[in-house]
Structure 1
Amino acid sequence: MSYQISSDDLVKFRHDYDDNQTNAVLENSVTKNGVRNASFNWHSITDNDPHFSIDLKTGDVADQKQSGRCWMFAALNTMRHEMQQKFNLPDDFELSQSYQFFWDKFEKANYFYENVLKTANLPTDDRKVAWLMDAPQSDGGQWDMLCALIEKYGVMPKSAMPESFNSNRSNGINDLLNTKLRHDAVILRQMVNEEHASEDQLNAKRKVMLGEVYRMLSYAFGEPATHFDFEYRTKKDHKFHREANLTPQEFFQKYIGWNLDDYISIIQAPTADKEYYKTYTIDMLGNVVGGRQIKHLNLPMQDLKDLAIKQLQAGESVWFGSDVIKYSETKLGIMALNTFDFDQLFNVDLNMSKADMLDYKQSMMDHAMVITGVDLVDGKPTKWKVENSWGSKVGTKGYFVMSDEWMDQYVYQIVVNKKYLNDKQAHAQAEAPAVLKPWDPMGTLA
């Protein structure tokens, strides 16, 4: 069944448009100011006032610059919040994002080689192979991937491995590294399919390739130290502290000391293919071969909110993932469904359910941040305080306001300590996960 637009159709469309005098005014406004400015709802500012009944003490907002490391920044921020309170650290203290960035890219290279060999017998136009080659590695990631890195490599303060040109502007090294990985994929697939190489031969070749990747990353980010000194002055009394010759693993155990197994991923995916109170993982998604598996517990939104509130009430911030751009005003730091009146401006119906938005690619998780507060009215949340990683020049010194209705629609994941789960949730989380396809929206990297 097909339909061609006729000249009569065009005449009617033009007549209907010209017959409404309001269209001329709106046309002038939109063409002059752009869609977002023309549809901005001024009342969203007062509706999303940045004051909260629960507001955790946190430091200065970090800045991921021109890189896709939000998931790292958000995760490390949740850890530094507790460190700052426990050790009286200054507001500008940060953990090294560049250190995790280096090892993430190194481990992702090996993870890519692993998947290339697993799919070596499939043709290049197979969907799995095409998915692999589309982006051999990227800046994005998941909470469990950060945990896998910390469990293997530990953590260090930013002073021990500061930012570099390439960690702040990652496009250049990403393009070159993906070229290298695709080049290596050709060789590995040929070794399997044409040379019938043994496992020992393949592993030997992988080691050579990984050595080359290590060299590239060391040039780009600087080679990570194996030992470092931790020096700081306390925020209140300015006392000087110094601990020499720490390893990243020793630093994590002494200054953070979390049992990372306690922190689990909760997702909110109301699509028909994902039952609530079930766990899920994603095929071919991860970074550390043999490391922590990505695992999500799917819960109704009310359960997710209740868990987030419990953790905030206990004084601990909450890592979360969302579709940050939708109905979001970056300069003002407002994420609310009434921020822009797109439907009213264009007189069209743009409403879709959360499930339909996931199924039809209208929305997916693309950014991770930290919830640091909530405004409770009669025990119910009305808005949430969000620490972003875009520096202090946006929002309220880098902090955003997220309306509760926006959270319903565009938040897809949080991380909480499993001690806050009720019996039903804990039982479900303990079950083995079902495996989702690599391109499932719940496998999107923040």
Structure 2
Amino acid sequence: MERNLTAEQLELFEKEFAAHPSYRVMQNAVTQTPIANLALDRQIVTGIDHSVSNLLDDWKVTNQKKSGRCWLFAGLNLLRVGAAEKLGVKDFEFSQNYLLFWDKFERSNFFLEAMIETGDRDVDDRTVAHLLSDPIGDGGQWNMFVALVRKHGLVPKSAMPETESSSATAQMNDTLRKLLRQGARDLRKIDGVEAKRAHKQELLTTIHRVLSIHLGTPPQKFLWQWKDSDKGFHRDGWTTPAEFAENYVTVPIDEYVCIVHDPRETSPSGKTFTVDYLGNVIDAPPVVYLNVEVDLMKQLTQDAIVGGEPVWFGCDVGKQMNADLGYWDANLYDYGSVYDTEFTLDKAERLVHHETLMTHAMLFTGVDVLDGKPRRWRVENSWGDEKGDNGYWTMNDSWYAEHVFEIAVRRSALPAELQARLDDEPIVLPAWDPMGALAD
């Protein structure tokens, strides 16, 4: 066959299309109607509802708006359940803006340190190029969330409320990226680690100023008082973020471990992994995860929910999703019938061929169990209350296996042999590996 597309080949393609009346019918439909409306499987839609046998949520959803802070929202949504109960209130939110500020600042330092460490490599080195491709995105992972809470504590939303830029981060991030890439250029020209770190301090002074202008200044201490659901008045007095976290985080987040399903042949089950240059806080414990079979992940998630605890998780959110209904199913859209073709990549092959990675983090708050097995899952999203069931979404179990990558659960929930594996030296994956993707 010819390397080039010849006139004869083009004529054959056109004849092939014209020979099938069904293709013309589909052309007429798709040119006038959104393809998702045509591919949506009505039988699956009518077979889903938002009811589940085990339901935890009795609170309003949050809204990350035009930002990629889902991993922070999901983490804080897990923590706010116990805090609300301890405060005696119906709904409560920790300040997402507070953690956003510290994540941006810590991540700037993390990036600049990486530029110092890799200063002897060419700028086209794959690791350096990967770090420069997005030095200050919004996304993150569970271990990065824990690192921020442990170092900087927490504050209520009233102590550091949302700003224009926390709810719409694009312009702020654009400025930060310019400053960090400019800083990377300058650091690479300076000789000596001490001289580089002295310049890094100047760069961080500017970064702190930009963040303060966009997000406000994080409080070092604040007066905390509130009314409970019975209108009773309470006052803790002047409180630091560390003290507030100590008093109102009722979940032992240090006991949580990150479990993933990575079915690639190069990622054996039962092994721990980390990703080079993945993190936000220097000297925090590294981002380490244990790879397991997806059925175990499901069982761990189900057991936690039945036991009364929501579960933080990360997934490839946009696959087979209907946003208006708030539904996910592995076969929700039948695009194969629309195009008269087959889509045959499995989960491992999608990872290998760049067709999938973790893009979003949310909270499992319910599960529908039949004969001991999950049928569907209830999900607290952070996209406001206009979609799904007042902002809560429903995931058929088929979708979990295909598109969920990561959960955070208590170490003690794992079988003993897997608990022991968590102490193994992790296999280090390169910085660009898809399992290092940041949920946003």
TM-score category, normalised to shorter length: over 0.9
CA contact (8 A) 1:98 1:167 kept: yes
Local SS of the residue matching 1:210: helix
Check if 1:89 corresponds to 2:83.
no
Q: Tell me how far apart the structure 1 counterparts of residues 367 and 251 of structure 2 sit (CA, whole Å).
A: 24
Check if 1:441 corresponds to 2:434.
yes
Task: Quote the residue 1:251 is aligned against.
Answer: 244
| Shift of residue 18, structure 1, vs aligned partner | 1.9
CA contact (8 A) 1:82 1:316 kept: no
CA contact (8 A) 1:275 1:298 kept: yes
Task: Quote the residue 1:263 is aligned against.
Answer: 256
Q: Tell me how far apart the structure 1 counterparts of residues 3 and 196 of structure 2 sit (CA, whole Å).
A: 55
Task: Quote the residue 1:186 is aligned against.
Answer: 185
CA contact (8 A) 2:57 2:366 kept: no
| Shift of residue 81, structure 1, vs aligned partner | 1.7
Matches within 5 A, 1:274-289: 274-289=267-282
Q: Can you list the C-alpha shifts for 1:305-352, whole angstroms capped at 9, x where unaligned?
A: 111111111111000000000000011100112321101111110121
Check if 1:80 corresponds to 2:80.
yes
- Equivalent of 1:367, from 360, 375, 383? 360
Task: Quote the residue 2:221 is aligned against.
Answer: 227
Task: Quote the residue 1:211 is aligned against.
Answer: 205
Check if 1:30 corresponds to 2:30.
yes
Local SS of the residue matching 1:209: helix
Local SS of the residue matching 1:438: coil
| Shift of residue 22, structure 1, vs aligned partner | 1.9
CA contact (8 A) 2:62 2:383 kept: yes
Task: Quote the residue 1:111 is aligned against.
Answer: 110
Q: Tell me how far apart the structure 1 counterparts of residues 134 and 57 of structure 2 sit (CA, whole Å).
A: 38
CA contact (8 A) 2:83 2:250 kept: no
| Shift of residue 53, structure 1, vs aligned partner | 0.5
Q: Tell me how far apart the structure 1 counterparts of residues 281 and 335 of structure 2 sit (CA, whole Å).
A: 43
Alpha carbons of structure 1 residues 231 and 25: separation in structure 2 relative to 1, 3 Å: farther
Check if 1:353 corresponds to 2:362.
no
Q: Tell me how far apart the structure 2 counterparts of residues 74 and 401 of structure 1 sit (CA, whole Å).
A: 16
Local SS of the residue matching 2:32: helix
Check if 1:403 corresponds to 2:402.
no
| Shift of residue 2, structure 1, vs aligned partner | 5.7
Task: Quote the residue 1:202 is aligned against.
Answer: 196
TM-score (norm. length: structure 2): 0.97
Task: Quote the residue 1:177 is aligned against.
Answer: 176
Matches within 5 A, 1:415-434: 415-434=408-427
* Bigger Cα displacement from structure 2, 161-170 vs 5-14: 5-14
| Shift of residue 433, structure 1, vs aligned partner | 1.0
CA RMSD, Structure 1 to Structure 2 (Å): 1.3
> Percentage identity across aligned positions?
37
CA contact (8 A) 1:89 1:232 kept: no
Q: Tell me how far apart the structure 1 counterparts of residues 87 and 392 of structure 2 sit (CA, whole Å).
A: 23
Task: Quote the residue 2:11 is aligned against.
Answer: 11
Matches within 5 A, 1:63-78: 63-78=63-78
Task: Quote the residue 1:138 is aligned against.
Answer: 137
Check if 1:343 corresponds to 2:332.
no
Q: Tell me how far apart the structure 2 counterparts of residues 283 and 14 of structure 1 sit (CA, whole Å).
A: 48
Local SS of the residue matching 2:257: strand
Q: Tell me how far apart the structure 2 counterparts of residues 267 and 323 of structure 1 sit (CA, whole Å).
A: 13
AA in 1 matched with 2:218: P
Task: Quote the residue 2:39 is aligned against.
Answer: 39
* Bigger Cα displacement from structure 2, 283-292 vs 12-21: 12-21
Local SS of the residue matching 2:422: helix
CA contact (8 A) 1:147 1:292 kept: no
| Shift of residue 204, structure 1, vs aligned partner | 1.8
Unmatched segments (≥5 aa) in structure 2: none
Local SS of the residue matching 2:287: coil
Number of equivalences: 439
CA contact (8 A) 2:69 2:139 kept: yes
* Bigger Cα displacement from structure 2, 307-316 vs 101-110: 307-316
Q: Tell me how far apart the structure 2 counterparts of residues 225 and 272 of structure 1 sit (CA, whole Å).
A: 48
| Shift of residue 267, structure 1, vs aligned partner | 0.4
TM-score (norm. length: structure 1): 0.96
AA in 2 matched with 1:225: P
Q: Tell me how far apart the structure 2 counterparts of residues 36 and 240 of structure 1 sit (CA, whole Å).
A: 52
| Shift of residue 179, structure 1, vs aligned partner | 0.3
Local SS of the residue matching 1:339: coil
Q: Tell me how far apart the structure 2 counterparts of residues 430 and 371 of structure 1 sit (CA, whole Å).
A: 27
Task: Quote the residue 2:164 is aligned against.
Answer: 165
| Shift of residue 244, structure 1, vs aligned partner | 1.6
Q: Tell me how far apart the structure 2 counterparts of residues 26 and 67 of structure 1 sit (CA, whole Å).
A: 37
| Shift of residue 427, structure 1, vs aligned partner | 1.1
Local SS of the residue matching 2:31: helix
Structure 1 residue ranges, 4+ long, deviating more than 4 angstroms after superposition = none
* Bigger Cα displacement from structure 2, 254-263 vs 292-301: 254-263
Local SS of the residue matching 1:274: coil
Unmatched segments (≥5 aa) in structure 1: none
AA in 1 matched with 2:410: N
Q: Tell me how far apart the structure 2 counterparts of residues 293 and 269 of structure 1 sit (CA, whole Å).
A: 19
| Shift of residue 104, structure 1, vs aligned partner | 0.3
Q: Tell me how far apart the structure 1 counterparts of residues 139 and 36 of structure 2 sit (CA, whole Å).
A: 27
CA contact (8 A) 1:90 1:233 kept: no
Q: Can you list the C-alpha shifts for 1:216-267, whole angstroms capped at 9, x where unaligned?
A: 10001000001112233223x2322222211111011111144322011000
CA contact (8 A) 1:58 1:81 kept: no
